[in-house]
């Protein structure tokens, strides 16, 4: 869980809690399933936590959630119970390791995969009620073009698109970028190529997407390199663990650590951007952030 917030003294000597610090919100998505998006989300979150970032991981594949299972955890309550009014968001948070917490979602609950816009907005706004002292919220979205995915991505600060070197994956990744840019005004995407086998493969896959995007879309694509195809990563998944924990010396672990260092340097917008966002109140309440939106 997040640590207790520090106190500051008012003029009358009565202690007052300082406003929580702003939170960097990163969303991961993919055009199709089977490209390893969730494994990347889990390992990136763990790598950021190991590097000192106070991190929260949201399992936003709302109807088919499985991060708790992948990590060998048992969630008594999840987001479906929050939406049903049975508990609060704070009640369902699971500690994973020092500096990393998990917000679990439901699996096999049809309604969770079909939330309407009001329910999606309510879920995003619920995060503003958390008092956890956080640096990063990492959102692992469902693949494809679900309504919830698009709302959560728009409410984030940065977007990671996971792709692998398959024609269907590349085509679907471009489709996600196209819809998010044209319909939701998302303009910057960080592209991570998973399961690469050759040193040049990540740049080649990125170039395929970038060439088409440059011609038809008004977006910025940022190459974030690749995660190597690694038997240790598969072993970790089979053991309900994460490769950065189970095999820290593996090639894939080194790639995740490099990605985590890069993501830690991504900026937090210094003002609200005119639509619903995760932790918007923290941005509004923090006097250190001022100026125009990024």
pLDDT digits 0-9 by tens, 1-20: 444 444 444 555 555 556 67
Q: What is the domain partition of the chain in residue ranges?
A: 20-266
Look up the pTM and report it. Answer: 0.90
CB 36 within 8 A of CB 166: no
- pLDDT, tens only, 23-50: 999 999 999 999 999 999 999 999 999 9
- Residue 268 carries which DSSP code? P
Query: In terms of DSSP bridges, do strands 55-60 and 188-196 run parallel, antiparallel, or are they unpaired?
Result: unpaired
Q: What b/e readout covers 148-184, taking b as 16+ CB neighbours within 10 angstroms?
A: bbbbbbbbbbbbbbbbbbeeebbebbbebbbebbeee
pLDDT at 288: 57
- pLDDT, tens only, 60-84: 999 889 999 999 999 999 999 999 9
Q: Which two tokens stand for residue 93?
A: 């948070």
Residue 238 CB partners (closer than 8 Å, separation 6+): none
Which class in CATH covers the domain with range 20-266?
A: alpha beta
**C-alpha of 28 from chain center:** 5
pLDDT at 13: 57
CB 271 within 8 A of CB 289: yes
Q: Where does 164-262 show beta strands of DSSP type E? A: 188-196, 220-228
pLDDT at 287: 52
Residue 256 CB partners (closer than 8 Å, separation 6+): 40, 43, 44, 46, 47, 227, 243, 244
Q: Which residues of the chain have a pLDDT value below 70?
A: 1-19, 283-294
């Amino acid at each position: 869980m997040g640590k207790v917030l520090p106190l500051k003294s008012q003029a009358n000597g009565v202690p007052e809690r300082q406003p929580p610090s702003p939170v960097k919100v990163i969303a991961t998505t993919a055009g199709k399933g089977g490209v390893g998006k969730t494994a990347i989300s889990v390992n990136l979150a763990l790598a950021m936590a190991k590097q000192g970032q106070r991190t929260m991981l949201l399992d936003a594949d709302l109807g088919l959630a499985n991060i708790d299972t992948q990590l060998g955890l048992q969630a008594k309550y999840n987001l479906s119970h929050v939406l049903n009014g049975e508990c609060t968001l704070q009640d369902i948070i699971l500690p994973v390791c020092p500096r990393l917490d998990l917000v679990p979602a439901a699996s096999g609950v049809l309604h969770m995969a079909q939330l309407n816009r009001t329910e999606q907005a309510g879920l995003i706004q619920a995060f503003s009620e958390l008092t956890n002292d956080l640096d990063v919220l990492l959102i692992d979205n469902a693949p494809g073009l679900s309504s919830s995915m698009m709302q959560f991505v728009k409410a984030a600060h940065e977007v990671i698109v996971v792709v692998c070197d398959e024609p269907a994956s590349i085509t679907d990744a471009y489709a996600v970028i196209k819809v998010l840019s044209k319909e939701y005004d998302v303009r910057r995407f960080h592209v991570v190529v998973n399961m690469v086998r050759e040193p040049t493969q990540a740049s080649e896959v990125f170039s395929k997407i970038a060439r088409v995007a440059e011609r038809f879309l008004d977006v910025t694509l940022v190459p974030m390199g690749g995660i190597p195809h690694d038997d240790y990563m598969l072993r970790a998944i089979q053991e309900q663990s994460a490769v950065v924990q189970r095999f820290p010396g593996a090639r894939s672990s080194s790639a995740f650590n490099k990605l985590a260092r890069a993501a830690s340097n991504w900026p937090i917008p210094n003002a609200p951007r005119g639509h619903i966002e995760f932790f918007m109140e923290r941005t509004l309440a923090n006097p250190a952030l001022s100026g125009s939106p990024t």
